[in-house]
Every structure is written in structure tokens, then in C-alpha cells.
Structure 1
Amino acid sequence: MRKEDCFYLGKIAKKFSYKGEVLAWLDTDEPGLYDNLESVFVEVHKHLVPFFIQQSSIHKNDFLRIKFEDIDTDEAADGMLGCEIYLPLTMLPKLEGNKFYFHEIIGFTAEDQRLGDIGTIVGINDTSSQALFEIKKGEIEILVPMIDHFIIKVDRDNKKIVLDTPDGLIDLYLNS
């Protein structure tokens, strides 16, 4: 499985028992959706390796307690600590309305209600406290804060996001 075909679910944070059980921190708002997984992909030396799950359960809201098949000792579990876990993109729950996954909107046209087509969404910058749409208009990069009231419509059929940006924000980039 290629990493591009998967989404990041979380990270194996710590051991839970002496029988190889681990706790994986889940990077999701709805951990209960992932309670009964049959398998996950674990990133080992930059490769995704499938691991089958013998048993799992939600632990303290954000953690998944996992007993992997063939991981039966404390030492075997040590080798998994810090490893990231992934699932295929096909397992993501479908979102509707103006909710979207970051990877889903890459390549969408960004349209401002006043200015029309302002470019193509080429990425999402979520490294700061406020996530930003990275929009390319020719050679110009436009950064627009990902604020709910700026997003008027996510049009999946036409691969377009309609925005209502404050006066002057887009002009800062286009007129410089």
C-alpha cells in the first residue's frame, strides 16, 4: 500500500501490558469509528506494513488499545513505539456539506464571491495555529485562512470551493 493512498490515523504511543498490547493515540474527532478494525498499516522504516489486529478497544477517549497478532511480548511491542499508523483512504467516513478532508480539495478551484476564480488549491498549510488554503494563481501564491464563515460552499461535483474573503485580502497578493 502506498502512503498516498492512505490517511494518518495516529501513532503508537506506549505499551499497555507485558503481553504485547499497545496504546495508539488516534488523531480523530470520532475515535469510536475505529474501534473494531481488522488491520492497520504501520510505518516501519518508511514502508507501510500491514498488521492484523487480534483485539482492540477505545481507551480513555483518544487512545485505541490494540493487541496485534504475532506481537506477544513486551520486547516485540517496544519495536512499535512511535510508529505511525495508517488506513486506506477508502475507510474515511464520507463528509457532506462544507466539511472536507484536506487531501480531498487539492486541485479544486477557489472562487471568491466578488472576484471570481482566484486560482487552484494546491495545498493546505496546517503548521500554524490557523490552517491556510494555499492557492496558486499563475505564479502567485495566495494564502487564505481556513475560517468557517469564509467558506460559502464546497462543490464536490464541480471541484470548486466558493469563498467570501474580506475586502483587500486577495488584492494584497494580486496587486503586489
Structure 2
Amino acid sequence: MCLGFLFQIMKKDDCFYLGKIVKKYSFKGELLAKLDTDEPDLYDNLDAIFIDLRGNLVPFFIEASQLHKSDLLRLKFEDVDTEADADALLKSDLYLPLELLPKLEGNKFYFHEIIGFTMKDENFGLVGKIVGVNDTTSQALFEVDRQGVEILVPMNDEFIVKIDRDNKTVIVNTPQGLIDLYLSQ
């Protein structure tokens, strides 16, 4: 991995959330991080990572790392050699630059990637502009703005027909009347 990104000031908007440091692993400063990914093995050979310390992304160089129990990553950072050093990093969020995200194809997408895309429904027509994703519910929702009206569309694989990256469009096929519910209020 190229370390050139470490010499830039990184903002959260330029990064993606990788996970959180959840507990100490040893008395030598090792930590365990819970990764927010379906493919944790993509991240077991990192050279460096950004840690959110009081709202600032601080680069940490990694001496050693290995997967531990499927979705945990065991990390040993340079200059984190004691239990006290490790304690200072507990519960911290981990970030990497967006350019390190693996490219997705077809109908798979990252939430940040589709912000600003236009949503079209095969039955309804033009729905509006995707302005956000609500992933705090049991099912993630597209947040779509239609001339000032918020429309929430479930991110259901059965509803998503196509992610058209070239035209920045998400084509869906929602149940009849779903979009009309928001417009008749």
C-alpha cells in the first residue's frame, strides 16, 4: 500500500469507516478491532490506518496485523507498546482513504457512492435525487428528495433493478403505490 496519503491532512469525507477498536489483546499494546466489512481479509496487510482521536484523523503505522476470529483484526501499532498506550485507543474509530475501497460492480454499491444519483422507478418514473442513506433501521433506506419532499425507499435487492454508474442513476421497481404514499400527504 502506498503511504503517500499519510502526508496529507485527511478529512472524514475523504475516508471510509473501517471499524472500531473494541479491546486490548495483550500487555504489549496489541489491540483488537471489529471491522465493518463482509471481507475482512482485504484489510489484514495494512501498513497504516487513521484513528479518530477527538475528532481528528491521526495516522498510525502498523507493525503487525492478522485476522482474529473472522471479523476481528489484531493490530500492533508502532509506538503503542504498553497497556496504557492501548487504553488510550480503546473504542476509537478506524478509517482508510476512499481510494483504498475495492471497486464494486453490477448492483453492489457503497452508500457514499450513490449520494447525488438520480432515482428512477420503472412504474412511477423519476423519483428524485438520492441525498442520503438511513442505515439506523433494521433495513437500510434510500433518502430521496423530490422537490422538497423526502421519500424513503427500502434498499431491498428485489427492488433494485440497476445501478447505472455512467449516468449516475439508480433504477428501482418498488411496490405499486409506495412512492405515492409520500406525495399524497
TM-score range, shorter chain: over 0.9
Does 2:79 correspond to 1:70? yes
| Mapping 1:23-172, distance limit 5 Å | 23-172=32-181
Deviation at 1:77? 0.6
Structure 2 residue aligned with 1:8, among 17, 39, 44? Answer: 17
Structure 1 residue matching 2:182: 3-state secondary structure: helix
2:40 corresponds to which letter in structure 1? P
| In structure 2, C-alpha distance between the alignment counterparts of 1:114 and 1:27, rounded to whole Å | 35
Deviation at 1:139? 1.2
1:84 corresponds to which letter in structure 2? D
Aligned-pair RMSD on alpha carbons? Answer: 0.6
Structure 2 residue matching 1:87: 3-state secondary structure: strand
Unaligned runs of 5+ in 2: 1-9
Deviation at 1:60? 0.5
Structure 2 residue matching 1:148: 3-state secondary structure: coil
User: Deviation digits for residues 92-145 of structure 1, max 9, x if unmatched?
Assistant: 110000000000000000001022111000000111101111000001110111
1:87 corresponds to which letter in structure 2? L
Structure 2 residue matching 1:65: 3-state secondary structure: strand
| In structure 1, C-alpha distance between the alignment counterparts of 2:99 and 2:151, rounded to whole Å | 31
User: Deviation digits for residues 55-99 of structure 1, max 9, x if unmatched?
Assistant: 000000111100000111111111000000000000111000000
User: Deviation digits for residues 119-175 of structure 1, max 9, x if unmatched?
Assistant: 000000111101111000001110111100100000000000000011110111122
Structure 1 residue matching 2:65: 3-state secondary structure: strand
TM-score by length of 2: 0.94
1:2 corresponds to which letter in structure 2? K
Unaligned runs of 5+ in 1: none
| In structure 2, C-alpha distance between the alignment counterparts of 1:69 and 1:134, rounded to whole Å | 41
1:167 corresponds to which letter in structure 2? Q
Structure 1 residue aligned with 2:26, among 10, 17, 27? Answer: 17
